[in-house]
Amino acid sequence: MAPATRSLKAITLFLLAWTGLVAGDRIYVHPFHFLFYSKSSCDQLKSSAETAAEPTFTPAPIQAKTPPLNEAHLRDQLLMAAGKLEAEEKLRAAEVGMMANFMGFRMYKMLSEVGGTSHGAVLSPTALFGTLASFYLGSTDPTASQLQAFLGVPGKDQDCTSRLDGHKVLSALQAIQGLLVAQGEAGGQARLLLSTVVGLFMAPGLQLKQPFVKGLAPFAPVVLPRSLDLSSPHVAAEKIRQFMQAVTGWKMNGLPAGVSADSTMLFNTYVHFQGRLKGFSLLAEPQEFRVDNSTRVSVHMLSGSGTFQHWHDPQNNLSMTSVPLGENASLLLLKPGCASELDRVQALAFHQDLFIWMKNASPRTLHLTLPQLELRGAYDLQALLAQAKLPTLLGAQAALGRISDSGVRVGEVLNSVLFELKADEGEQPTESAPQSEMTEALEVTLNSPFLFAIHERDSGALHFLGRVDNPRA
């Protein structure tokens, strides 16, 4: 058996075992059934296979004028999509949420193995999954079936009805995003923002297939196909950075351009999250944060009191606090009992223990202080795939005939995340909290390195996994 096949088999077996574990208390139909092609779409695919001359277009040059992004509009679109979800769509969202969590944990581990988490990190499992699902949409066999197995759902040979329907997967990702954003809406005040943009950068003269680009819309409502000279990776990276900043207004991290000069396509996914914590206020004075035992920095901190889900695990020497971001979403904060234990706690938390800890948590009155966050993370999926022993999955031989007829060579596959956490500005500090209760409030202060995640209960998805070593870095 080829190493890649073996590696995929191992992943699949692990996923199935893990699925059984976490899905224990959920309505559970045959795993992933709802994400496959239906019998009728299979028949349709068969009859249209021969006539498949899909329309193509040449991307505009990167210098072409592009209107700025309207994030409020993107949020409204997501809300609308989340507002009319049917039962089956919710099930799909839960299935994709679970697959994305697993992918997120796995890739977080790869990121930490390549040294990408030791000074802080923020990773978006849903963006990662969406990026790979986008490639799945653009691929033909054998790449398509390899990607399907890597996504966690191996198909049965040539059986069309056991193949993932890429459009269903990407729609489920839209539902997942919408369910998170909807959480901030209670009380008519938008507290959560989640915007996803894909930049498709092609070498001049290359054509893209229209159905592919259109098909990405549920996952990334804004797709920017642009052409530019990629033969000089550093120059191209800088042009892309300027272009994206001009369109989005986001100051994001790129990566040191390690792209080989013969790439003809870069697939970059950009995600911006902004959360406002209800009932929290910004402390007037900056506070001390101990980065390590010889470095201290002064940072803006938020503080708030209330009854939060909390769990102290004496065995693993850590505590977890869950701060609500609406009815079904929360910010999970994980603090090791001892700062030097962060790596160990990270390995446990972003594996599967997080779900167990969440079940163990119980309501507790506490006073919580944590840094205001503006974190930037960036990682190249190609590097993570290489670390996962699948360096050729999106390599030169990848069959991506649904993206373009020109035989694209994929360079970097960047995921870039801007993650912001603030106080809810409309909110007055709650002076009126009953004093008797507050006297017995547990003090939880995140003034040394910690981990966090954003979880939404309806889809079960973990939207972000992260680690803060230095809030000012």
Ligand X SMILES: *[C@@H]1O[C@H](CO)[C@@H](O)[C@H](O)[C@H]1NC(C)=O
Please identify which residue in 7, 162, 317, 470 interacts with ligand X, judged by CB under 6 A. Answer: 317
Please identify which residue in 66, 328, 445, 470 interacts with ligand X, judged by CB under 6 A. Answer: 328
Alpha carbon distance 237, 254 (integer Å): 8
Collapse the DSSP code of 364 into the 3-class scheme (helix H, G, I; strand E, B; otherwise coil) and give the result: strand
Closest CB 188 distance from ligand X, rounded Å: 12
Q: Which stretch binds ligand X (CB under 6 A): 45-53, 130-138, 226-234, 336-344?
A: 336-344
Alpha carbon distance 419, 373 (integer Å): 7
Instruction: Tell me whether residue 238 or residue 292 sits nearer to ligand X (CB atom).
Output: 292
Please identify which residue in 29, 64, 338, 356 interacts with ligand X, judged by CB under 6 A. Answer: 338
Instruction: Tell me whether residue 74 or residue 291 sits nearer to ligand X (CB atom).
Output: 291
Alpha carbon distance 380, 444 (integer Å): 35
Closest CB 317 distance from ligand X, rounded Å: 4
Structure token digits, residue 463? 């939207």
Question: Tokens 């039962």 belong to which residue?
Answer: 87
80 lines the binding site for ligand X (CB under 6 A): no
343 lines the binding site for ligand X (CB under 6 A): no
Q: For residues 93 and 179, is the Cβ–Cβ distance under 8 A?
A: yes
Please identify which residue in 327, 347, 437, 438 interacts with ligand X, judged by CB under 6 A. Answer: 327
295 lines the binding site for ligand X (CB under 6 A): no
Collapse the DSSP code of 223 into the 3-class scheme (helix H, G, I; strand E, B; otherwise coil) and give the result: strand
Closest CB 467 distance from ligand X, rounded Å: 15
89 lines the binding site for ligand X (CB under 6 A): no
Please identify which residue in 293, 428, 432, 435 interacts with ligand X, judged by CB under 6 A. Answer: 293
**Which residues 441-460 are close enough to bind ligand X by CB under 6 A?**
458
Closest CB 77 distance from ligand X, rounded Å: 17
Collapse the DSSP code of 312 into the 3-class scheme (helix H, G, I; strand E, B; otherwise coil) and give the result: strand
Q: For residue 362, which of 442, 431, 439 has the smallest C-alpha distance?
A: 442
Instruction: Tell me whether residue 325 or residue 368 sits nearer to ligand X (CB atom).
Output: 325
Q: Is the dihedral of CA 54, 57, 58, 59 positive or negative?
A: negative
Element (H, E) at 346: helix 342-348
Q: For residues 197 and 219, is the Cβ–Cβ distance under 8 A?
A: no
Instruction: Tell me whether residue 246 or residue 338 sits nearer to ligand X (CB atom).
Output: 338
Q: For residue 99, which of 132, 68, 135 has the smallest C-alpha distance?
A: 132
Q: Which stretch binds ligand X (CB under 6 A): 169-177, 192-200, 337-345, 410-418?
A: 337-345
Distance of CA 448 to the CA centre of its chain: 25
182 lines the binding site for ligand X (CB under 6 A): yes
Structure token digits, residue 168? 């269903």
Site of interaction with ligand X (CB under 6 A): 182-183, 293, 317, 326-328, 337-338, 340, 458
